[in-house]
Amino acid sequence: MEFTNLNQKIEEAGKENLRNVQLFGTDNFRSWMLHFPPGDCTPMHYHQSPETFLVIAGKCSVKDIKGNERILEKNDIVFFPAKEYYQLTSVGSDTLVLFGNRSEPFGVRPVRAEAKQ
């Protein structure tokens, strides 16, 4: 059994300017925290396994490959099936903090949209 405190991790990420903080990981599961200042974003990409994100703080724009967008706020959760393209962007004036889970180990690389073209 493992435990962590998200408030501590958020504070550390802010002080050390960390975007991605690994929390827990095994050979078939991982969880992490993303810490994005306003305007920061991921590339358009997908993963081989399903995943979820929970908004802890800030606002998040979620776009799909067709440009459809939805804004998520604190306590909203999004689920992405395997191989579904998406992009996450920190919108608003506060830092975006997301808690993510995926059924794969750390180190598996995403597939970027521009690599597919």
Supply the DSSP string of 11-36, one letter for each residue.
HHHHHHT-SEEEEEE-SS-EEEEEEE
Q: Is the pLDDT of residue 115 over 60?
A: no
| CATH for 6-106, options being 2.102.10.10, 2.60.120.10, 1.20.59.10, 3.40.50.800 | 2.60.120.10
Alpha-carbon dihedral of residues 40, 46, 50, 52, nearest 10 degrees? 10
Report the DSSP pairing between strands 59-63 and 111-112. Answer: unpaired
Average pLDDT, the chain: 95
| Residue 70 DSSP one-character state | E
Q: Is the pLDDT of residue 73 over 60?
A: yes
Question: Could you tell me the two tokens for 12?
Answer: 């550390």
Q: Indicate the helix (H) or strand (E) that contains 112.
A: strand 111-112
Question: Could you tell me the two tokens for 24?
Answer: 């827990």
Name the residue ranges covered by the structural domains of the chain: 6-106
Query: What is the average per-residue pLDDT within 84-112?
Result: 95
Distance from C-alpha of 101 to C-alpha of 23, rounded to nearest angstrom: 10
**pLDDT single digits (tens) 40-65:** 999 999 999 999 999 999 999 999 99
The pTM of the full predicted model, rounded to 2 decimals, is: 0.92
pLDDT band for 116, please (50, 70, 90 cuts).
low
